[in-house]
Structures are given as structure tokens and as C-alpha cells.
Chains A and B, each alone.
Chain A
Amino acid sequence: KAGVTQTPRYLIKTRGQQVTLSCSPISGHRSVSWYQQTPGQGLQFLFEYFSETQRNKGNFPGRFSGRQFSNSRSEMNVSTLELGDSALYLCASSFGLAGGGSYNEQFFGPGTRLTVL
């Protein structure tokens, strides 16, 4: 079974530009979550999508947006890039809620490393 794939793996942009990152979940997974990870920092939650609907959103400015397509693939977009947006962006896919409020295991992709100059 293929794992979670993220493209591109590396990206260099300049301040003010915008970027789109892509995530293809494991076949059958309908939930995709996005996280930002900076050196020494934990996983900062961006958003979660399930069946094309945004279910949860983290505390990031409106420059960060996302969407999910009918095939469960997801994209996140960052507009007007700032130096502080340089980070590893991870997506994770799962079957979603497991019932009783529990969550299923998250499968992470390798991440996209974004550098903003």
C-alpha cells in the first residue's frame, strides 16, 4: 500500500510570493490534516479536512488556506509569504474519527520543506 505522498519535497520562494503544496493520502483515507513544524518546535496544527469539508482549523492567519478534492487529495496554499513561514509542512492522512470521539492512527507524509528568502 502506497504511503502518503507530498509534493514538492523542497521549495524555495521569496517574500511576497505564494505557494501551493500538495498531499495525496493513503488510498481509502478521507481525512487529511496539515501541520507546520519549525526547528525545535512541535507540530503546529493548520487544518483538518474530511470528505472535502474543513472540520478543524488552527490558529494561523488567513494567508494559510487549504482544500480537499473528491479523491481526498488535499492542497494547502500560503499567500504573501513571510520569512517566518519557512518550515517543514507535514500532512497526515487517516480514516478520521474512530467512534466515541477517538481518532484513528495518523499516517504522515515526508513533508515539504519550504524556505522563504
Chain B
Amino acid sequence: GQQVMQIPQYQHVQEGEDFTTYCNSSTTLSNIQWYKQRPGGHPVFLIQLVKSGEVKKQKRLTFQFGEAKKNSSLHITATQTTDVGTYFCAGGGYIGGAQKLVFGQGTRLTINP
């Protein structure tokens, strides 16, 4: 089954509204990465979190890694049309009996201008 779950699958917001996507793992992760894929493009690395409880910010984007290192979130404040795309989390660690990097299913964000 899916080892790294990401919700919601889709999110539509009005420009200016906030947006959050959540990532959950059944096992403790060594690190979590976040990627953004613009429509028609390929995933591009945004950030990596390694420490328990870590919080990092990139302008309007806030990334969190849970205390148990099993969940993470990406929050965008006051969305802009440039934020449109699919956001993927990827958990690294010993998952499903092997050392691997597992991507979540992604959250597709669309924005009404």
C-alpha cells in the first residue's frame, strides 16, 4: 500500500486565500523533501527537512516536519497565481523494508484569480 500519504489530492482556492497540504508516513522518516511541478513541467525541489519539529520558511511558504518525523506540511499564505501546480512530498528513510525515497501522490493546487 501507499507508504507516504498526501492530502488533499486537489485544492481549489481563490487568489489570496491560504493553502495547506499534508504528508503522512506510516514509518519514521530520516528526511522529508518537497517538490513543485508546474503544469507541463517537471518536479522541482523546494526544500528538505531533517530535524524533528523543524520549521522552514521560504517567503510565503512554510514547511514543517512533525515531532515524530512521520508527518509534514506545506502552508502557503495568500496564494498567488504563480503558486499553481502540483506539490509533492517525498519521505526518505527505511520504508517497506528498504532504504528509499517515497513520493506522496501530490496535491494539485488551482487558483481562481
Contacts and interface: CB of A to CB of B under 8 A. Distances in A.
B75 to A, nearest CB: 20
B35 A106 contact: yes
Given A42-B88, A102-B30, A56 B100 contact: yes
Q: Chain B at the A interface: mostly helix, strand, loop or mixed?
A: strand
A100 B1 CA distance: 25
B85 interface: no
Interface in A94-111: 97-98, 100-103, 105-111
Given A90-B42, A101-B99, A106 B104 contact: no
A55 B99 CA distance: 9
B43 A90 contact: yes
A100 B106 CA distance: 25
Interface residues of A, number: 25
Contacts of A48: 100-101
Interface stretch (B14-22, B44-52, B56-64, B76-84): B44-52
Contact of A42 (B98, B100, B103): B103
Interface residues of B, number: 27
A43 interface: yes
B74 interface: no
A69 B75 CA distance: 40
A32 B27 CA distance: 24
A43 B45 contact: no
Contacts of B48: 102, 105
Interface string A41-84: 11101001000000110000000000000000000000000000
Interface of A: 33, 35, 40-43, 45, 48, 55-56, 90, 92, 97-98, 100-103, 105-111
8 contacts: A43-B103, A56-B100, A101-B92, A102-B30, A102-B50, A103-B33, A106-B43, A108-B42
Given A42-B6, A42-B103, A101-B30, 15 more contacts: A35-B103, A42-B88, A56-B99, A101-B31, A102-B30, A102-B50, A102-B92, A102-B93, A106-B33, A106-B43, A106-B90, A106-B101, A108-B35, A108-B43, A110-B42
